[in-house]
Chain A
């Protein structure tokens, strides 16, 4: 691997060698440091892209999987109101959070809605 991560990839370099080779190890360490900084910058850019993508992707996936949740065989307690909350992407609605926290959780809330809300809050 040409791009190195940390100094462990330089284990074969004799850092305690004669003083005449110090300039060589000096340049090697500097190049490793520069490459590591490049890796870190690349990770920062990718993390920014992932952070931008988090909310739209999570919401899209949750809305898609809400259909599968509503079609589950054992979901007999899924009322029309709860289904509409899922269909309206209730996990993006702050007013719904307030209503659920105020005591109307049984009216609006489902296990799926809690999971989707946690995912969205974590993504933010």
Chain B
């Protein structure tokens, strides 16, 4: 590789190694960009398959906005309060078969509570909206990173040297003229 370049190529060993290291260092940011594109972007757009909202849409359970249309807000709030009072946080996972007194004063059995929890998904306090500006930023970053990776890849794969398959009589002249210019300087 080095001998072929020193025979009259336009780039020497140091610049060739520089390009290869440049390709490798650009590779990491491109990998990050591709990972962001493949893994994080579906989450950003709200297209995650196990979303509680998506589960509720599948089960035709009313969302907050739909509930506001169908019932009065008071009824909906009361029902939510009742749901949250009977729900058990996963941190405080109780033993099966025991009873517990809720804040509302209702004594419920844990089996019933767990069964209810299995039936109904936990509803988050707010819906995670898709972040459009973040998606634009990620796409812009992807374009920059992949561009900065592809260009040195092309220039490393097919550099302007005598190994390109062109006539070897031309490029040594160019190299000689470069050498002459550098001597003049």
Give the chain B neighbours of A119 by CB distance below 8 A.
32, 35-36
Complex contact A123–B29 (CB within 8 A): yes
> Whole-angstrom distance between the alpha carbons of A40 and B148 in the complex?
9
> Whole-angstrom distance between the alpha carbons of A101 and B89 in the complex?
28
Give the chain A neighbours of B55 by CB distance below 8 A.
73
Give the chain B neighbours of A68 by CB distance below 8 A.
43-44, 46, 48, 51, 128
> Whole-angstrom distance between the alpha carbons of A80 and B124 in the complex?
15
When A71-B52, A73-B50, A73-B121 are in contact, do A123 and B128 touch as well, CB less than 8 Å?
no
A 1-24 to B, binary, CB cutoff 8 A, 1 in contact else 0: 000011110000001100000100
Complex contact B170–A15 (CB within 8 A): yes
Which chain A residues in 38-66 approach chain B with CB under 8 Å? 39-40, 42-44, 46-47, 49-51, 53-54, 57-58, 60-62, 64-65
> Whole-angstrom distance between the alpha carbons of A72 and B42 in the complex?
13
Tell me if B144 counts as interface (CB < 8 A to partner A): yes
* Total residues of chain B contacting the partner, CB 8 A: 56
When A40-B155, A43-B147 are in contact, do A6 and B164 touch as well, CB less than 8 Å?
yes
Q: Which of A25-33, A91-99, A102-110 contacts its partner?
A: A25-33
Give the chain A neighbours of B54 by CB distance below 8 A.
73
Complex contact B166–A15 (CB within 8 A): yes
Give the chain A neighbours of B103 by CB distance below 8 A.
none
CB distance from B150 to the nearest CB of A (A): 8
Complex contact A5–B151 (CB within 8 A): yes
Instruction: Give B176's nearest chain A residue, CB to CB.
Output: A26
> Whole-angstrom distance between the alpha carbons of A53 and B30 in the complex?
12
Which chain B residues in 1-31 approach chain A with CB under 8 Å? 10, 19, 22, 25-26, 28-29, 31
Complex contact A50–B29 (CB within 8 A): yes
Complex contact A73–B173 (CB within 8 A): no
Give the chain A neighbours of B149 by CB distance below 8 A.
47
> Whole-angstrom distance between the alpha carbons of A54 and B167 in the complex?
43
Tell me if B68 counts as interface (CB < 8 A to partner A): no
Of B36, B89, B121, B160, the residue contacting A29 (CB under 8 A) is B160
Give the chain B neighbours of A76 by CB distance below 8 A.
90
Complex contact B28–A122 (CB within 8 A): yes
CB distance from A7 to the nearest CB of B (A): 5
> Whole-angstrom distance between the alpha carbons of A60 and B138 in the complex?
10
When A77-B90, A123-B29 are in contact, do A40 and B160 touch as well, CB less than 8 Å?
no
